[in-house]
């Protein structure tokens, strides 16, 4: 399954799309044009500002479009809060973020509202880390943003709602993660202006991973929705999310005992230029056929043809769980043996032979320092014909830790998305997986 790297990139890029700035780096709070890239696919934040707000609260702080006084004040407060946080003074940082929220939450200005969400997300992060570790307060900060922007019309604010909704869901349950994806997808699909095509595609892709191992049929349906948007549309090159969807659905077809022919045809049609396509398709075909027949000759042929291929983005967890669920012992052992063979090649670089220095051919001369003169008092030659014996090579053990993770399929495994991995303090780093978070103000 093509999943670990792309999932993290998607989540980090979604954060970048929503936030479009680095919250704690005061040096980057400047008006710059910013793009966010996933695997060389650029997405730009909509710069349009809409000053009209439905149901504006009566205590609204009036911020004229050309008046940047309040914005500059809030930025300075944010910089001060960041400095206090870096010094470890969470109390003072939280006080300043509260002040920012108080001054900005009733504004109708998009720049001010971005600073409002900045402060709320920052508070949520502080509440979530040691020594605070206050889950209830963390969730309250995300709810603040969700409730504020859920019913707004501006795309940028809806993306902030999306980010808060997903972040909040990660701290509850896997079911809530699925509910969040479904809620966002439905909301964005109903957008009259169809402004969220790319976000819907990313949400469907992410949803499919959350469903894997829970409901593989629905996981396939989610990927089918992505594929159908491009299939038979005369597209010469598919986005990588679509390419991965095709390959992942071939695997899911095997796991769910469905026909994979249409996905294999799509892979051969659209992905033939990718160096991953041929080895992955043949690998999946061998594993599928191994349910009924010995595949030793096919495996040997694959290994000879693809000896240098090491499955750079492929994860075997779903296939191994599927094999482990088989009732027929002989079939289970046979299928698992081929999965292990491919996985061994994936990790073969980890167990590469150690470097052995060449024995020198020249004559070594041992010298003693004499108080009166420097002379050679002893010398010897190295016999290069003497054979050197080395210990037995380390035996490969197939992915020794992964099986333990999946021993209990009923227990919730926060494998996707994990806040510690996918988010890894996005507010403290200017770069994450090649995605740069830069605050970008619309032109005055």
Residue pLDDT, tens place only, 107-135 = 999 999 999 999 999 999 999 998 989 99
The first and second tokens of residue 29, run together, are 């709070």
The predicted structure's pLDDT at residue 352? 45
Full-model pTM: 0.63
Any idea which of 45-59, 118-132, 296-310 has the lowest mean pLDDT? Answer: 45-59
- Other C-beta atoms closer than 10 Å to the C-beta of 163 total 25
Band (385; pLDDT cuts 50, 70, 90) = low
Phi-psi region of 39 (alpha: psi -120 to 50; beta: other; left: phi over 0): left
The predicted structure's pLDDT at residue 13? 52
- Other C-beta atoms closer than 10 Å to the C-beta of 41 total 12
Residue pLDDT, tens place only, 187-238 = 999 999 999 999 999 999 999 999 988 899 999 999 999 998 887 677 777 8
**Mean pLDDT for the stretch of residues 92-112:** 95
Secondary structure element (H or E) that encloses residue 224, with its range:
helix 216-228
Residue pLDDT, tens place only, 276-290 = 999 999 999 999 999
The most confident of the ranges 56-60, 269-273, 352-356 is: 269-273
Mean pLDDT, the chain, rounded, equals 75
- Beta pairing partners, 2: 314
The predicted structure's pLDDT at residue 382? 43
Concatenating the DSSP letter of every residue in 113-127 gives HHHHHHHHHHHHHHH
The first and second tokens of residue 251, run together, are 């695997």
Task: Please give the Cα distance from 56 to 58 (Å, whole number).
Answer: 6
Residue pLDDT, tens place only, 391-440 = 554 444 444 444 443 444 443 333 333 333 333 334 333 333 333 333 34
pLDDT above 60 for 75: yes
Task: Please give the Cα distance from 21 to 141 (Å, whole number).
Answer: 19
Burial label, 424 (beta-carbon count in 10 A; 0-12, 13-18, 19+): middle
């Amino acid at each position: 399954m093509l999943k670990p790297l792309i999932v993290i990139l998607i989540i980090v890029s979604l954060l970048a799309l929503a936030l479009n700035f680095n919250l704690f780096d005061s040096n980057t709070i400047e008006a710059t044009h910013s793009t966010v890239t996933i695997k060389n696919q650029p997405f730009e934040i909509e710069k349009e500002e809409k000053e009209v707000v439905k149901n504006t609260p009566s205590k609204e702080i009036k911020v004229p479009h050309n008046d940047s006084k309040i914005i500059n004040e809030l930025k300075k407060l944010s910089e001060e809060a960041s400095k206090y946080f870096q010094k470890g003074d969470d109390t003072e940082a939280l006080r300043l973020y509260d002040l920012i929220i108080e001054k900005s939450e009733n504004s109708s200005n998009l720049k001010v509202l971005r600073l409002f969400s900045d402060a709320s997300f920052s508070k949520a992060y502080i509440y979530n880390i040691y020594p605070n570790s206050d889950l209830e307060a963390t969730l309250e900060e995300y709810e603040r943003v969700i409730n504020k922007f859920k019913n707004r019309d501006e795309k940028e604010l809806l993306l902030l709602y999306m980010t808060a909704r997903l972040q909040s869901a990660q701290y509850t349950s896997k079911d809530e993660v699925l509910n969040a994806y479904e809620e966002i997808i439905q909301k964005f699909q109903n957008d009259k202006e169809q402004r969220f095509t790319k976000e819907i595609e990313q949400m469907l892709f992410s949803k499919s991973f959350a469903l894997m191992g829970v409901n593989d049929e629905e996981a396939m349906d989610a990927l089918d929705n992505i594929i159908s948007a491009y299939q038979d549309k005369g597209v010469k090159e598919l986005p990588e999310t679509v390419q991965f969807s095709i390959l992942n659905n071939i695997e899911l077809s095997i796991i769910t005992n469905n026909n994979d022919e249409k996905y294999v045809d799509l892979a051969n049609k659209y992905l033939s230029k990718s160096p991953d396509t041929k080895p992955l398709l043949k690998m999946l075909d061998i594993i599928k056929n191994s349910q009924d027949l010995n595949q030793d000759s096919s495996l040997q042929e694959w290994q000879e043809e693809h000896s240098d291929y090491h499955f750079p983005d492929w994860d075997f967890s779903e296939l191994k769980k599927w094999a482990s669920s088989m009732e027929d012992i002989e079939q289970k052992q046979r299928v698992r043996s081929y999965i292990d063979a491919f996985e061994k090649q994936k990790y073969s670089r980890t167990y590469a032979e150690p470097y052995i220095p060449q024995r020198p051919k020249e004559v070594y001369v041992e010298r003693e320092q004499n108080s009166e003169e420097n002379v050679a008092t002893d010398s010897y030659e190295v016999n290069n014909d003497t054979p050197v014996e080395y210990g037995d090579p380390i035996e490969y053990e197939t992915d020794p830790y992964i099986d333990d993770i999946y021993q209990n399929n009923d227990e919730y495994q926060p494998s996707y998305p994990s806040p510690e991995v996918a988010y890894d303090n996005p507010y403290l780093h200017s770069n994450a997986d090649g995605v740069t978070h830069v605050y970008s103000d619309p032109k005055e």
